[in-house]
Structure 1
Amino acid sequence: MGMRGHQREHTSGGMGQVTWGMRLRLGAATCVLLAGFSLVCIRVVALQWHPPVEAETAGQVRTDNALRGSILDREGRVLAFTENSFKVGIDPVVMKRYLHEEYRDEVAEADPDLPSDQLLAMELPEDELKRRMSDMVAGVAKLLELSAEDVSRRFWERLGAAPGTRFIVIDRDVRNQRFKNIAPLMNKGMGLACDPTQSWIRNYPNHNLACHVIGFLSRIPSESEGIEWAMDVELRGRDGQYLFFPGSSGRNELIHRRRIIQDRVDGNDIQLTIDSFIQGVVESALAKAAVAHNPESITAVVVQPKTGEILAMANLPDFDPNDYGNAEADSRKNRAVTDFFEPGSMFKIVPVSGALEFGSARPDSIYFCENGFWTSSGTRPLRDSHGYGDLTVEEIIVHSSNIGTAKVAIDLGKENLFYFVRRFGFGTRPSIALRGVTPGSVRPLNDWSTLSMTRIPMGHEIAVSALQMVMAMATVANDGQRMKPQLVHSVRSQDGQVLWRYQPKVVDQPIGPETAAMMRRALAGVVERGTARRARLDGYRAGGKTGTAQYAENGVYPPGLWTSSFVGFAPVEDPVVSVIVVVDRPKGDYYGGTVAAPVFKEITEKILEYYQVPRRSLAPAGADLAGASPILD
C-alpha cells in the first residue's frame, strides 16, 4: 500500500482509540489547567481582601459611623432615634438626554415612516427644552414637599454659573416619607440621583415632649444637653474604620474593596423612667396654667415615691430638639433641676416632721399662735394670714401657720433643724443623669442670723429646686425613706438585651414610718380642710402643702412678684405618685392654693386613672368650696 496508505491507516486507528500515553498527556494537561485556575482564584481573593503593599499605600482610611442608640420611655415608646439622610440632586446632562429621547419617541409615534437617521438627529428646541426641564424640576420639588419656585430658581442659578455641572443639589436632608416619594424615580434615567450623607441624623418624633429630659444632640458633643449629653458614652457606640481601595472603574466603593481596620459597634438604647402618657398629661396641664396665669415659667415633676423613678419632668417655656439651634437659651433650661427658689410654706414639712421625729413635739402638742402677729426676741414681726390662737401641731400644718411653725422649730433647736434640713437632701446636689443640677442654697449653721430660726422654717432664707422639694415630699410619702431620683430605667443593646437595669436605692431615712404616717395625716388635712382644698381629687384622698413666697432677685424682693407652688402625693393610704407644681411670677392671683394646687389636681387625677387605681366614695372635690374662707398660702 505504500507510505500514504500506511499513514491513512495509522490516522484512522488513532481517531478510533485513545492510547494510555494520550490519557497520561491529557491528565497532565488538565492538572496544569486546574492548578493554574486555582492560583488565579486565590490571587483574585487575595487582591480583594489583602491588596498588595503598593495598593495599600493608595488606600484611604474611612470611618464607618456607628448608629447612635435610641432613647425610649419606660413603655418602650421611641423618644429619640437616628436615621440616614439622603442628598438629592439632578444631573442636567442626563435630564437633557432623557427629554430629547422623550421628544424623539413623541415624533416617532406621530410619524412612524420618518427615517431613523433623521429621527436620531432630532432634538428639542432650546425654549421647549428649558420649559420641560423647569416642569421636571418643579415636579421633583413637589415630591420633596419644597417650594417649586425656590428650587427652580436655585437650579437655574447653579446651571447658569456652571453650565457643565453634573450634579445640582436640590435638598441635602431627605428622609422618611419624602425619600419614599422620590425613590421610584431614581432609576428612570431622568437625571435624578442621591448620595447618602456621611453622618446619621437625629430625630425627635414627639417634638417638644420631654424636651428638657431628652435634651438634644449637638454637633459639638460637649454642648449637648439632657440624656443625650449624660448618656452619650452608651448612646454613641464606637465608630469603625476601614481601608478603601478605589477601583480603576471609578465606581462607588464596593464591600470587596474594603479592608476592615476596626469593626463598628452601634450604640446602646437608653430606656428612661419617663412615661410618655404621663409626660403629655403634665405638659397639657402646664400649658393651660400658662394661659390662665401668664407666668414667667412653670415647672412640674412627677415621682414614684417608693422607687424614686421620675415619671414626668416638664417646664415652660420649652423647645423642639429637632430645631434646638433656633430656640432661646432660656427655653432650653431644665428649670426643675437648674433653678432654685425660696419654697415658702412647702418647706414646713421639714421642721415639723423633724420635731415629731426628734420628740420635741407631738401631733397634739398645742402652740399659741399669737393671734397672727408675733415678735420673737426683738426680731422683725412674724405674721399669719389669719389670727390663730391655740393650734395643735397638726393644725399648724393644716392652716399653714408661720408663727406656729417657727415655735415648733425653736423647740426643735437650731442644730437639729439644720440636721433635718440636710438629711432631707437640701443643700446637696441630687445625683441624677442631667447637667447643671443645682444643690440649692443652705447657709452654714454659723451664718444663720437671729431671724433664721423664724424664717427658715417657713421657707425663707433657703433655696431649693423643684426636684429637691418633690423628693422631700416623696420621702414623707414613702415612710421616711429618701430615694435616689432616677431618670434611666435600663440600658439595652441594639438587639434588646438588657445590659443594666436601675435598682431603687435608699439614700437616707430622715424620719421613721410612724413620723411619716403622722405627717401624711396632717398633709391630708391641708387638702381636705386647709389651704389646698383646690387640690382635692375626685374619688381619691390626696395630701400636700401649698407654698407662696416672694420672688427673690439679686438678694432683694421686688414688689408684686411671687412664686406659687404646691407639692403633694396620692392616694394618702398608699401613695403612688408625688407631684410638684411651681409657677414662677404669675400675673394676678398668686397664692399656691389657687394657682398651683388646681394643676396638681388635674395631673394627679389623670395619672391615678391611667394606673387604674380604684376610686373611693368621697365627697366630690370642690363641693365645700362655695362660701369658704379665702384660701391664702
Structure 2
Amino acid sequence: MLFSVFSFRLIYLQVIKHDEYAELAAEKHGYKQIIYAERGTIFDVNNDVLAHNVPLETVVADATRLNNPQAVVSLLSDELDIPTDALVEKLSSERRYIVIKRGLSESLAGTLREKLRANNLRGIYFQHDASRIYPNGSMLCHVIGFTDFEHHGIQGVEASMDEYLRGQDGYRYVERDRAGQEIVPYRGQERAPRDGYQIHLSIDLALQNIVENEIDAAMKEYSPQKATIILMRPQTGEILAMANRPNFDLNLRSEAKPEEMKNRAIIDMMEPGSTFKIVAAATALNEHKFAPDSTLFCENGLWNYGGADLHDHRAFGYLSVRDILIKSSNIGAAKLALGVGEEKFYEYIRRFGFGERTGIELPGEINGVIRPPRLWSKISITRIPMGHEIGVTPLQMTVAMATIANRGKLIMPRIVKSVT
C-alpha cells in the first residue's frame, strides 16, 4: 500500500506536474528572454505597402557574465558612440538583463559581434528588433497612424487594429555557462512567437494620390486653416481615400505638432451649412408631403418666422423641391421641414446617422451634436434645415451624401478590407 502511494506521487510529480516545475526551475536558474513577434504589414486595396518593418537589433548585457568589463566598455563606447561614464553606470550592477542600445542596423550589429568575438569578450548579446517604416511619408498619416517605442499602435489603423497587428510575443528561459554559451536543458521551456496579421485597407493609393494633389491645390488657392477630403463608395461603404490638412510625416512624427496629428474627418465638428438641405428634402419626399416638382413660395428672399428674419442669397419666388436644392434656398428648405414637423424631421436626422459615431475602424471618432426637439427654440425648425444649430463630422456628412447616392440605403463606412 505504501509503495502504491509513493508510486502515485512519483508519477504525479514527474508527469502531471512536469511542465509547471520545469518552468519554476527555469525561472530560478535562468532568465526569461522575450522573443518578440513581428508586427503585421498594412496594405492598400491593391497590396501596395503602407506600413512595414525594417529589421534592427538591440544590444543587451548580462553583468554577471562580463569577463573584462573595462575592455567591453571601451569597445561599446567606440562602436556605439555612448559615453564611457554612462556605460560604466549601466554595467556596474549585477543585473542579468541590461539594454545597452536599441535600433542598431544588422550590419553594425554584425561588425560589433565580430569584434567582441575577436577580443574574446563575453556578456554582451544581441536581440532581434524592428523599426516601423511608412514608405509614403505624410500620405494617409491620419488613417495609418503610428506605433510607440514598445511597438503598440497609437493612432489610426495602427491603434484600432493593434490586437491583430502586434501578434503574440514568445519567450524562452536562458542560462549560460562561464564561456557565455547557452545551457541546453532550458531550451524546452519556450514558446514561439506568433507574428501579427496582415491588414488590407479599402484605400486605393492611386485615388489617394489624386485626393492629396487636390487638397494641396485647394490649400494653396484658398488658404484655409484646415481641410478634409473623403472618397467613399456609396454601395459598399468602402473608404477609397481620406486626406486632412494640416498633416505630418509618419516617419518624423516626433517633430509633428498636435494640430497636425488630428484626423479631422472624424474628430472635427462643424455646422454643415447648405449641404444639410438634403436631409430636409429627403424627409419631405420620403414622407410624401411633397413631390420633386411640387412648388413652394420662397417669399422673394425674406421671410419672418417666429419673430426672426430668414434670408435667401437671392430673391426667389416659387421654387420646386428640386430647385430648392439646386438654388440652395434657405427659406425653401425651412418650409420643407415645417411640412413634416419637428418630431419627424428629427427622426430622419437620426436615421441619416447624425448624432452618433459611424463605427468606422478608426479611433477617436465623435458623435457630433443634435439636440432633441424638446430643446429646440421656436425658430430651430427653420435653421436646422440649412445646417445651423447642429454639429456633424466630415465623415457623417459624407455618409449622408452617400445614402442619397445609394437610393436611400445607409451603409456603414469601412476602411479595413480584410485581415489575413
TM-score (structure 1 length as normaliser): 0.54
Q: Secondary structure at the match of 1:62?
A: strand
Q: Is contact 2:165-2:199 (8 Å) kept? A: yes
Q: Give deviations 1:277-319, integer Å, cap 9, x for gaps.
A: 2222212211221122221111111101110011111111112
- Aligned: 1:346 with 2:294: no
Q: Is contact 2:306-2:379 (8 Å) kept? A: no
Alignment of 1:322-361 (within 5 A): 322-361=251-290
Q: In the alignment, which residue of structure 1 is the partner of 2:390? A: 462
2: CA distance, partners of 1:207 / 1:488: 20
Q: Is contact 2:145-2:159 (8 Å) kept? A: yes
Q: Is contact 2:140-2:243 (8 Å) kept? A: yes
Q: Is contact 1:304-1:310 (8 Å) kept? A: yes
Q: In the alignment, which residue of structure 2 is the partner of 1:305? A: 234
Q: In the alignment, which residue of structure 1 is the partner of 2:378? A: 450
Q: In the alignment, which residue of structure 1 is the partner of 2:246? A: 317
Q: Secondary structure at the match of 2:377?
A: coil
- Aligned: 1:211 with 2:211: no
Q: In the alignment, which residue of structure 2 is the partner of 1:471? A: 399
1: CA distance, partners of 2:87 / 2:110: 28
Q: Secondary structure at the match of 1:337?
A: helix
Q: Give deviations 1:449-483, integer Å, cap 9, x for gaps.
A: 11111100000011111000011111111111100
2: CA distance, partners of 1:468 / 1:443: 16
Q: Which has the higher contact order (CA 8 A, sep 6+)?
A: 2
Q: Is contact 1:246-1:257 (8 Å) kept? A: no
* Offset, 1:218: 2.1
Q: In the alignment, which residue of structure 2 is the partner of 1:364? A: 293
Q: Report the AA paired with residue 317 of structure 1.
A: P
Q: 1:443 to 1:336 in 2, by over 3 A?
A: same
* Offset, 1:57: 3.6
Q: In the alignment, which residue of structure 2 is the partner of 1:407? A: 335
* Offset, 1:382: 0.7
Q: In the alignment, which residue of structure 2 is the partner of 1:77? A: 48
Alignment of 1:164-563 (within 5 A): 172-175=102-105, 179=106, 187=114, 196-197=126-127, 199-219=129-149, 224-251=154-181, 253=182, 258-378=187-307, 380-492=308-420
Q: Report the AA paired with residue 208 of structure 2.
A: Q
Q: Is contact 2:368-2:393 (8 Å) kept? A: yes
Q: In the alignment, which residue of structure 1 is the partner of 2:11? A: none
Q: Secondary structure at the match of 1:313?
A: strand
How many aligned residue pairs are there?
Answer: 376
2: CA distance, partners of 1:233 / 1:219: 17
Q: In the alignment, which residue of structure 1 is the partner of 2:15? A: none
Q: In the alignment, which residue of structure 2 is the partner of 1:60? A: 31
TM-score (structure 2 length as normaliser): 0.80
* Offset, 1:257: 5.7
Which consecutive aligned stretches of 4+ in structure 1 deviate over 6 angstroms post-superposition? 50-56, 91-94, 159-162, 188-191, 220-223
Q: Report the AA paired with residue 209 of structure 1.
A: M
2: CA distance, partners of 1:333 / 1:159: 41
Alignment of 1:125-164 (within 5 A): 158=84
Q: Is contact 1:84-1:197 (8 Å) kept? A: no
Q: Which has the larger radius of gyration?
A: 1
Alignment of 1:48-127 (within 5 A): 57-86=28-57
